[in-house]
Amino acid sequence: MATEFVGPQGARGDASIQTVFSGFQCLSLEERRERMETGLGLDAQTLDGLTGVEGPRLESTLSTVENAVGLFSLPLGLGLPLKVNGRDYAIPMVVEEPSVIPALSFVAKLVGEAGGFVAEADPSLMIGQIQLTRYGPPSFAMARILEARAELLALANAMHPQLMEEGGGARDVEVRLLPAPEGPGMEPLLVVHVLVDTKEAMGAHLVNTMMEGIAPRIEQLTGGKVYLRILTHLSDRRLARARCSIPERALADFGLGGVEVAEGIVQASRFAQADPYRAATHNKGIMNGIDALALATGQDWRALEAGAHAFAARTGRYGPLSVWRREGGNLLGDIQLPLALGTVGDTQRAHPGVQAALRVLGHPPARELACIFASVGLAQNLAAIRALGSAGNQRGHMALQARSVATSVGAPPEWVEAIAALLVQEGEVRVDRARQVLDRMRGGEGAPLEPPPPGARRQGEQV
């Protein structure tokens, strides 16, 4: 299928993002709130949605969750700033793992200085499935369904006329004949696929309603019996792709040269391509960022996970969603995965935090949002395998977190690396320990601290 490039859209330009979030990590929570209020023009209600002051009420959960007893909160932070298709975005992320946001911010800066991510997204085509049994000769049943294609599409679209008015709707009918899972001699599975352009909606409700509506007519056409009628979360007609290119010299870190770090990244990528055991963890690193952004923007993260992992196994063997290679002195990365996202829906309408997160992003349409998601996934993947392929999990991952922790306690820029290095060597990458180190350095007017002896306590981090 040909893909159409989706360029940047939105109300804000790049300069405002860079200005608003310059030195953001050094500010207190109240100062960050003030900066966003004045810099982005966010009203008090939107800010309350971001900070959790204004959230979904317990009463509203009683109608959506069985046996509700309360609300459960997770931190919401910003990955800053991610350049996608020439525009900078502040990335709202809901996540409990402390290294995810600093890792994204670190890679966003690294890739941003090299031009940023370039991304594209397919139209919002979802697939509805109808399982047909006891249909008689397969060729007859398949022919009858395809002959009624126009009738079936019209019937499906009549159920959602507003979607047609918005330029979406049912687009095509396909028929698949699958071998019986029990083996030869049993009835093959006949499955009808209906392709639906859901536009700004994720589309589960729209598609399911259409499948329910046309199922009786398919039974009439074939004389068969319909069982399942539901969308698939392997939305492989709704793919998003992102890529980036980074000069190898910019990758130097961990006491290693840029070429050595780049080679470590490529070798980690090769490992994931060759081994499904490694590919599972490789892809988990991608979903660290995608799931956090999905929670913040009210997406069905469970559907995204299901679709991504099914797509990774589409060839019959599970593999990585992203690939890295070296070429002409640059490290090149590519990612492709299904992303069924929505900018309209019950959660987007009802949850103040979701509304605020989408406003911070600039209210992107669904396909632009998919470009952002794919870029976040590729960035998060690079952060993980960059550490794994060079310094190793513990040292590399802790180093990213330690820099962020040192900055978060107000360390001057010229002291951040020294404090971070000490925290990593101690194995105590914690805010309270960073404050102790900072206080001692302030007392000594920035005098260097003696590192702990070998064998001091260490703590690991999970990628």
pLDDT (mean) for 369-373: 98
Confidence of residue 45 (pLDDT cuts 50, 70, 90): confident
In angstroms, the first-to-last Cα distance of the chain is 35
The question of whether 397 is a catalytic residue gets the answer: yes
Residue 300 falls in the annotated catalytic set = yes
pLDDT reported for residue 40: 81
Both tokens assigned to 349: 């309408």
CA-CA distance, 321 to 408, in Å (whole number)? 33
CA–CA distance, 129 with 191 (Å, rounded to integer) = 7
* pLDDT tens profile 392-430: 655 556 776 787 788 778 888 778 888 988 888 888 788
pLDDT of residue 350: 78
Report the pLDDT value the prediction gives residue 1, as an integer from 0 to 100.
35
- Residues in CB range of 67: below 8 A, 6 or more apart: none
pLDDT for position 406:
85
Neighbour tally for 139: CB within 10 Å: 9
Give this prediction's pTM.
0.85
Give mean pLDDT, residues 257-286.
97
Q: Is 2 exposed, middle or buried (0-12, 13-18, 19+ CB in 10 A)?
A: exposed
Instruction: Tell me whether residue 439 is one of the annotated catalytic residues.
Output: no
* Token reading at 454: 């070998």
Spot the catalytic one: 282, 309, 351, 397: 397
Q: Is 328 helix (H, G, I), strand (E, B) or coil?
A: coil
Q: Is 346 considered catalytic here?
A: no
Annotated active-site residue in 14, 37, 48, 97: 97
Catalytic residue among 54, 253, 300, 368: 300
Strands (E), 19-108: 76-84, 87-94
| pLDDT tens by residue, 123-167 | 999 999 999 999 999 999 999 999 999 999 999 999 999 999 999
Dump pLDDT digits (tens) for 217-236: 999 999 999 999 999 999 99
**37, 284, 334, 417: the active-site residue:** 284
pLDDT tens by residue, 291-340: 999 999 999 999 999 999 999 999 999 999 999 999 999 999 999 999 99
Quote the pLDDT of residue 457: 35
pLDDT of residue 274: 98
φ/ψ of 213, rounded to 5, equals -70, -35
If pLDDT is split at 50, 70 and 90, which confidence band does 51 have? confident
Tell me: the pLDDT tens digits for 304-314? 999 999 999 99
Chain segment 171-220, per-residue pLDDT in tens: 999 999 999 999 999 999 999 999 999 999 999 999 999 999 999 999 99
List the single range of 13-22, 249-258, 284-293, 433-442 with lowest mean pLDDT: 13-22
**Tokens representing 457?**
């306590």
Q: For position 4, what pLDDT does the model report?
A: 38
